[in-house]
Structure 1
Amino acid sequence: MLEQAYAHCEAIIKHHSKTFYKAFSLLPSSKKKAVWAVYGFCRQVDDIIDEGTDPEAELKVFRSEFASFLKGEIPKTDPMWLALEDVFRNFTMDTKAFHDMIAGQEMDLYKTKYYTLEELEHYSYHVASTVGLMLLPILAPKKVDELRESAIALGLGMQITNILRDISEDLDRDRIYLPIAEMESLGYRVEDLRSRRMNEAFIKVWEKLAVRAEMHYETAFSAMHHYPLDARLPVKSSAVFYKAILQSIRKKDYNVFHQRAFVSEKEKEALLSAIAGN
């Protein structure tokens, strides 16, 4: 039954995030399965917010289920909880990171525009950096303190990358994550964004955020030697794969409004070979 629960979580990450699945498949079995379970938890919250018929009510139920879970009462609603129970039994998990991630996803229910970079990074910490903090006790149980800032930085870099890739999809949901004050300071208006106007000002805005993301990636890379050998390549791979999305968008002349940038399997294999060779 436990193996079926882990298989359920693996199917979720395999379907929803080929990048993370490819990177973390390199982990030893016990760590890999634990990552699948944490991803299953995060994905369920994400789906409630983005696809739920009554997300506020559904999130309240999920919070209640998590509270019961932490008391040792395993909800029967989803096999993810069974897998996660095994993770909590075998690793010293950071429950605050789980609560913060739920709070971050909840922000999307009432906040649809961001005005400053500080606001954006506050949000990005909650929805992305928290995931890194959840995974640290699994990936590097003896180095959690040394890697905390690196994990937070990696989450910030990845989330800003997501935002720069998904601008058009977010507009379809009436969400603007590009900081409005930053846009206006560079001569790009909200009306331009809603009209999906591609011009020099848009590229300046995009690049300013991309450079910020790349700064966070460099902070993350600077501490990766603290990861144990069995986790170092998977973590670095996930970071390099994600960072490569930015270059993919540049190669496509910043055309995020009409196509979704991605890193091909062939490109990932080349990147993986380069990382493994270093």
Structure 2
Amino acid sequence: ATPAGEIALSSEQKVYDVVLKQAALVKRRIKKLEKPDIVLPGTVLSEAYDRCREVCAEYAKTFYLGTLLMTPERRRAIWAMYVWCRRTDELVDGPNASHITPTALDRWEDRLDDIFSGRPFDMLDAALSDTVTRFPVDIQPFKDMIDGMRMDLWKSRYKNFDELYLYCYYVAGTVGLMSVPIMGIAPESQATTESVYNAALALGLANQLTNILRDVGEDARRGRVYLPQDELAQAGLSDEDIFAGKVTDKWRNFMKKQIARARKFFDDAESGVTELSAASRWPVWASLLLYRQILDEIEANDYNNFTRRAYVSKPKKILALPLAYAKSLV
């Protein structure tokens, strides 16, 4: 309950406060001397970044190809950030997820504090620890992502989109906020820093909403429903309909509205991609175009996301790369 006299903030307002803080950090161009330098032999750091590169190349092939156009320092930093996010996600979604406890996530957050304090635990941590001394990256989005993992330990229903919005920010919107200071804003950009961060946030939200719509059946088999309960009810649907896994007209109409919302976030994201530094645009455009195509595939499957997993075929992925590259030049 909200204390008397206080106005409850929507999730969007709460997240916007974080966006403003991140934008302010970049505008002030915080000097790396304000953060502790980690003392590691150059060969160890080189090996750390190389291992991050290998992980990114293995698990995010298309995105990895795009990072190769970035400056060496920026791409190494993006690889380090990607690996930390992947490791964090695997805590609750990986092979050992059933053994993860809130205490384990608390320890992971303590370890994050150590990374930002220049005390990395292992080689992969060392790469991120070095990265945060080179770019004005703030710890808050990283902590928020861990909060998203905490939500997954106890929450399997979302009563409305406001609740779902906050979850999507925690687990994916945060990635956008982490990425902007590394990818950089184009020197010639006339856009406000806040608008670029808002666009990065929108892309993260769009990607996560797309994940949710793609994985409805898979999540249902785990007893999870990442769809707004009030909107399901308005459509004449319930959890039981999802667990039954039947594509009906009610389901199609419901899905059309959910897909339209995700597409709106992709549209909002587009304006910000063009404001990034030129060498950083290709991987972002590739991610945006490919993820948006997943929504097309859900439609092509007649909205059957219960037993058919929408995916973008390899030929379509290959075709998307030159289009993404062309857009990155604009």
TM range (shorter): over 0.9
Deviations 1:246-277 (A, max 9, x none): 11121122222223221123212212222333
Secondary structure (helix, strand or coil) at the match of 2:274 reads helix
TM, length-normalised to structure 1? 0.92
Partner amino acid, structure 2, of 1:70: F
Q: Which residue of structure 2 aligns with residue 202 of structure 1?
A: 251
Partner amino acid, structure 1, of 2:175: V
For residues 64 and 255 of structure 2, what CA distance do their matches in structure 1 show? 27
Out of 103, 122, 126, the residue aligned to residue 170 of structure 2 is 126
Which sits farther off after the overlay, 128-137 or 8-17? 8-17
Matched positions, count: 276
Give 5+ residue unaligned stretches, structure 1.
Answer: none
Matched, 1:271 2:320: yes
| Conservation of the 8 A alpha-carbon contact between 1:186 and 1:205 | yes
Matched, 1:58 2:104: yes
Q: Which residue of structure 2 aligns with residue 136 of structure 1?
A: 180
Which sits farther off after the overlay, 17-26 or 55-64? 17-26
For residues 175 and 16 of structure 1, what CA distance do their matches in structure 2 show? 25
Shift of the 200–17 alpha-carbon distance from structure 1 to 2, 3 Å rule, reads farther
For residues 297 and 65 of structure 2, what CA distance do their matches in structure 1 show? 18
For residues 179 and 248 of structure 2, what CA distance do their matches in structure 1 show? 39
Q: Which residue of structure 1 aligns with residue 198 of structure 2?
A: 149
The offset of 1:144, in angstroms, is 4.6
Point out the structure with max Rg over C-alpha: 2
For residues 68 and 218 of structure 2, what CA distance do their matches in structure 1 show? 28
Shift of the 21–255 alpha-carbon distance from structure 1 to 2, 3 Å rule, reads farther
Shift of the 221–197 alpha-carbon distance from structure 1 to 2, 3 Å rule, reads same
| Conservation of the 8 A alpha-carbon contact between 2:80 and 2:127 | yes
Percent identity for Structure 1 against Structure 2 = 34
Which sits farther off after the overlay, 237-246 or 43-52? 43-52
| Conservation of the 8 A alpha-carbon contact between 1:19 and 1:241 | no
Decide which structure has greater helix share.
Answer: 1
TM, length-normalised to structure 2? 0.79
Q: Map 1:1-12 onto structure 2 (within 5 A).
A: 1-12=44-55
Give 5+ residue unaligned stretches, structure 2.
Answer: 1-43
For residues 53 and 222 of structure 2, what CA distance do their matches in structure 1 show? 28
**Which portions of structure 1, spanning 4 or more consecutive aligned residues, are displaced by more than 4 angstroms?**
141-144
The offset of 1:41, in angstroms, is 0.9
The offset of 1:19, in angstroms, is 4.3
Shift of the 235–198 alpha-carbon distance from structure 1 to 2, 3 Å rule, reads same
Deviations 1:187-226 (A, max 9, x none): 1221010111211111122221110011011111123221
Shift of the 87–149 alpha-carbon distance from structure 1 to 2, 3 Å rule, reads same
- Aligned residues: CA RMSD: 1.8
Shift of the 200–105 alpha-carbon distance from structure 1 to 2, 3 Å rule, reads same
The offset of 1:23, in angstroms, is 3.8
| Conservation of the 8 A alpha-carbon contact between 2:80 and 2:128 | yes
